[in-house]
Amino acid sequence: MQQLHRIRALSDTLWHEWLNLSENQLCHYYEPAPGLFLAESPNVIGRALIAGYQPVSFLIDDACLNEQVQAILSQCPDAPVWLADTAMMEQLSGYHLTRGVLCAMRRKPPQSPDAVISAAGRIAVLENVVNPTNLGAIFRSAAALGVGGVLLTSGCCDPLYRRAVRVSMATVLQIPWGYLPQSPNAAAGIRMLREQGFLTAAMALRENSLPPDDPRFSAAERLAIVLGTEGEGLADETIAACDDTVCIPMMNGVDSLNVAAASAVAFWAMRQNRKESQ
C-alpha cells in the first residue's frame, strides 16, 4: 500500500538526508553497492521503470499529482511518496522541478565494454565529454539514429547525472553503455575495438579527414564513431589509434559544430547501408 506523507516543514522529511547530497555523493550512497540517481519528470521516471530501475522514494508537488503520476505510483507500492506544495518543493530541492516530480532510484552497475558491443553494429565512443547537456543529447541521438551502445572514458560526465538523463529523454536508461578501461584517453579502447572487428573513425579536424557520408563507413559491418571533449577534441594518441579521421564539411567560416550536434550528423551519415554491406 502506498505510503503518502505530507511535508509541512524542512525537518519533516526523511528526504532531507539525500536531497542535500551532491550528484557525486549520490553515486556512492549505498557503497559498495551502486548508489542513487535522481529521475526527474513523469516521462523519465516511467522509462526508468520500464528499463528495470528500482524506485526508492518520490518527491511530488501535489499540484502535479495527475493521472499519469498516479499510474506511475501504482507500479511502486513500496516506495514512500512525499508531497509538498510548490513553495515547499523549491525550498526542499533548491531548484524548479520539471513537471513537479522527482524520484530517487537505485543505480545498476555499468555494463562491461564486451557486453555493450556484443550485438552492436554501431558504437559511439566518448572521450572526456564533461557537459551533461551534451552527453544527454549524444545519447538521445545515438538511440534515435541506430547506434547500439556507448562507451565512455572515466573523464566523461556521469550518464545518470540528473540533467543528462532529462536531456537524453531517458535514453541513457535504455541504450547499453559502459566505461572503457581506466586511461586518460580512449586509445586503449580503440585498439580493443579494432581487435574485435570494428572500423574506428575519429571525429577530428584534420586535412586528410574523410566526410562522414563516405561509403567506407556506411558499408562497414561494425563501426565505432569516436568523439572528444568540448573545445579540445580528441587526444592525439586516440586519433592515431583510429583507422580514419572524419570531418563534417563546414561553410561560412565556421570551423566545427558542438560535439552533440556533430554526433547527430555523424550518426545519421554513417548509419549502416545494409545493401552495400552485404
Provide the strand spans (E) within the chain.
4-6, 36-40, 55-61, 81-84, 101-106, 122-126, 149-152, 177-179, 199-203, 223-227, 244-246
86-95, 176-185, 266-275, range with the lowest pLDDT: 86-95
Residues near 211 by Cβ (< 8 Å), separated by ≥ 6?
Answer: 246, 247, 248, 249, 269
Kindly indicate the confidence band of residue 278, based on its pLDDT and cuts at 50, 70 and 90.
very low
Handedness of CA 70, 98, 51, 58 (dihedral sign): negative
Q: Is the predicted pLDDT of residue 22 greater than 80, yes or no?
A: no
42 near 99, Cβ under 8 Å? yes
Task: Look at residues 268, 247, 5, 22 and name the one whose alpha carbon lies nearest to residue 141.
Answer: 268
pLDDT at position 65: 86
Average pLDDT over residues 102-114: 90
Residue pLDDT, tens place only, 135-175: 999 999 999 999 999 999 999 999 999 889 989 999 999 99
More confident residue, 110 or 182: 110
Specify the pTM: 0.87
More confident residue, 101 or 14: 101
Task: Look at residues 192, 201, 199 and name the one whose alpha carbon lies nearest to residue 222.
Answer: 199
The strand pair at 244-246 and 177-179 is best described as: unpaired
Residue pLDDT, tens place only, 195-252: 999 999 999 988 889 999 999 999 999 999 999 998 889 999 999 999 999 999 989 9
pLDDT at position 7: 78
Average pLDDT over residues 10-29: 68
Q: Is the predicted pLDDT of residue 276 greater than 60, yes or no?
A: no
Q: Is the predicted pLDDT of residue 274 greater than 60, yes or no?
A: no
Q: Which domains does the chain have, with CATH numbers?
A: 4-106 (3.30.1330.30), 113-277 (3.40.1280.10)
Distances in Å between the alpha carbon of 253 and those of 68, 212, 257, 259, 266? 48, 19, 12, 18, 20
What mean pLDDT is reported for the chain? 87
More confident residue, 171 or 96: 171
Q: Is the predicted pLDDT of residue 8 greater than 90, yes or no?
A: no
pLDDT at position 89: 72
Share above pLDDT 90 across residues of the chain, in percent, rounded to a whole number: 59
